[in-house]
Amino acid sequence: MSTNLATRASGVSNPAGATAPAGNHSALPVKAGGMAKRRRRREARAAFLFLLPDGIGLTVFVGIPILLAIGVSLFSVSGFGDYVYVGLKNFQRMGSDTLLWQSVGVTLTMLIVFVPVTFVVALALAMLVKDRFPGVGVVRAIFFLPNVLSLVVIGVLWQFMLVDKQGVLTNLGGIFGLQDVSWLGTPSLALGTLIVISIWFTMGYQMFLFLGGLTDIPNEYMEAAKIDGASAWQRFTKITWPLLAPTSFFVLVVSIVAAVTGVQAFDLVYILTKGGPANATTTVVFYIYQQAFTFGDYGYAAAITTLLVAFLVIVTGAMLLVTRGGRFNADAD
Partner 1 sequence: MPTQTETEVPSMTQAESAQAQISHHAPRTLAASVPRARRRARFASSERRSTIIRAVIAWILALITMFPIIWLIIGALRPADQTFSPGLSSSFTFDNLSQVLTQVPFPLYLMNSAIVSIAVTLAALLFHSMAAYALARLRFTGRGTVFLLMISTMLVSLPVILVPLFMIVKQLGLVDTYAGLIVPVIFNAFGIFLLRQYYLNIPKELEEAAELDGCGYGGIYLHVILPLSKPILASLAVLFFLANWNSFLWPLTITQSPNLDVIQLGISTLQGQYSSAWGLIMAGSLVAAVPTIIVFLLGQRWLVDSLKTTGSKG
Partner 2 sequence: MKSPSSQDGPFSALVSRRSLLQGTAGIFALGALAPLLSACSTGGPAGGGTAKEITFWNFYGPAPDNNPQSQWFVKLADDWNATNEVKIKLRYIAQNDYVNGNTLQTAFASGSGPDVFLLSPGDFLRYYNGGVLQELTPKLDPAVVSDFLPGTLDTRKVDDKVFALPMESEPLAMFYSKSAFAEVGLTDADVPKTWDDLLTVAKKLTTPSRFGVGFETTPGYYQNFTWYPFMWEGDGQPVSADAKSSTFNSKAVTDALTFWGDSISTGVAPKKLLGNGGPDLPANLGAGYVAMQQSGVWNIAAMKQMAPNVDYGIFEIPTPSGGTSATTLGGWSFCANAKGGNPSAAADFIAWALGSMSADSIERGRTWNTVAKTNIPVRSSVQDAANAKGAFSDPNMAFFLNVVAPNGRGEPRYPPEIIKPIEDAIQAVQLGGKDAASQAAAASDTINAYLSSYSGAPIV
**Contacts (CB under 8 A) with partner 2, residues 279-308:** 279-280, 289, 292-296, 298
Residue from 43, 152, 157, 180 touching partner 2 (CB under 8 A): that is: 180
CB atoms near residue 207 (< 10 Å):
27
**Range 107-112 contact pairs with CB under 8 angstroms and sequence separation of 24 or more:** 107/259, 107/260, 107/265, 107/283, 107/284, 107/285, 109/191, 110/191, 110/194, 110/195, 110/198, 110/259, 110/260, 110/264, 110/265, 110/283, 111/256, 111/259, 111/260
Question: Is 72 in a helix, a strand, or coil?
Answer: helix
Q: What are phi and psi of 191, to 5 degrees?
A: -65, -40
Among 292, 272, 294, which residue's Cα sits nearest to residue 281? 272
| Least separation in angstroms between CB 329 and partner 1 | 12
The interface partner of residue 185, options being partner 1, partner 2, none and the CB cut-off 5 to 8 Å by kind, is partner 2
Q: What is the DSSP letter of 74?
A: T
Region binding partner 1 by CB under 8 A among candidate stretches 83-91, 111-119, 131-139, 188-196: 131-139
3 state SS of 297:
coil
Q: Tell me if 274 contacts partner 2 by CB under 8 A.
A: yes
**Angstrom distances, CA of residue 70 to CA of 76, 169, 196:** 13, 43, 33
Mask for 102-141, x = binds partner 2 (CB under 8 A): ----------------------------------------
183 vs 201, beta carbon nearer partner 2? 183
Residue 230 binding partner 1, by CB under 8 A: no
Work out what residue 227 binds among partner 1, partner 2, none; the CB cut-off runs from 5 to 8 Å by kind.
partner 1
Under the binding rule (CB under 8 A), the answer on residue 148 touching partner 2 is no
What SS3 class is residue 14?
A: coil
Residue 185 is a binding residue for partner 2 (CB under 8 A): yes
CB-nearer residue toward partner 1: 190 or 218: 218
Does residue 249 touch partner 2 according to CB under 8 A?
yes
Q: Which helix (H) or strand (E) holds 76?
A: strand 75-77
**Site of interaction with partner 2 (CB under 8 A):** 16-17, 20, 23-28, 63-64, 67-68, 70-72, 74-75, 77-83, 99, 163-166, 179-180, 182, 184-187, 246, 249-250, 253, 270, 274-280, 289, 292-296, 298, 320-321, 323-329, 332-333
